[in-house]
Structure 1
């Protein structure tokens, strides 16, 4: 006799996961509603659309039936629904079967649903860059290529290559990325250097990160990486410098200010 699903999987219980047509789900856009989330207006991500077209919506959303309106409101999973809607538009044009969105129904007050909404978004822990790199490398070993990885991870091929480059870095560089002391882009550039140079550079980058933040941190780390750009002088600063400038330098300043004809005359009479 066949086992039921609880016995077959060794589960302790089960709930019903329902399948919804994306268009039948209500996305709340009223800012005064307890379940409003301004991210509903975020632009769609092309990589996510392609991923859903290929694999469907893998993680069930949370749905609540509003007793006042009778609408099936999305508590968690707005982006999955929005991207599924776009995916279905494209699948329809291709004459392919449309996707359904799996959803778990929750019951309770709007206040309780707002708690679910906040918690579902804030409790999640994203994979680390190095963790993603290891997963990508494992898939490559199983026969997938970079295009497959871009689809599976919802990113571009350049991002795939940048992430995989982490595995070519020394341990100290990998640790710095994991600790959010340097960026994946910086680590990828360090990967092209000799191991000793990597260790030297990352120590400088981490030292800057420990003592600064925001724009100051980014600027000083760019200097460490040799990317510092000279600050452009304002028109007022250039005009002031012109008061004491002579010769070709003065002509160049006049050219920057747009007085090219005047600059040429001054050079010709010098």
Structure 2
């Protein structure tokens, strides 16, 4: 979002000198690139979208195919960029947006590679467990709460994946709630989950330096953080994250 904002701002500043069409070009390239990138991603992951095609509109869940997005740039550029000066100005604006995106990407990826916490947490069923105890196989760690609507919306898919993926450990780290409340929610929702941890002090988000829930962490077999997904995770994004952990083709 910051990269797109910087791109549009740069185009707005350059437009008076290089032609008013420059800003229109920038705005329409954003629309076209996002639309074609999303369509490309949906096409690539169609088996996941086929049961509920409306999910293609849930762009807040993420999922864009960069190569397909580039296809959307060509027709818009052909309409608006009619001279070498305008092409140079458009390239400069795009470069500014890409620079901002890259810097923020590097900053937000700072916690990747971090080791799993050694803190023992009360487990809903079973002995206390630390996330670091899962070393030896890849793990998916979901940070959630019963009062969080996006958490509740993604939980059935996570439960289904946890039951189907024996090669990956799944851990559900509840934030700040009592065991009774969590049990009542799982019973009412007819969800059967193993490794439900009670993080009453919300230590896991502090350990990783993250904010907001739901949050899904993908841990390598050595316990280090390989990737993370903020917000409700879709079936396709979850499958892609697991495939990367297991280094298998999708």
Query: What band does the TM-score fall into relative to the shorter chain?
Result: under 0.3
Larger-gyration structure (1/2): 1
> Could you state the TM-score of these two structures normalised by the residue count of structure 2?
0.23
More strand by share: 2
TM-score for the superposition, normalised by structure 1: 0.22
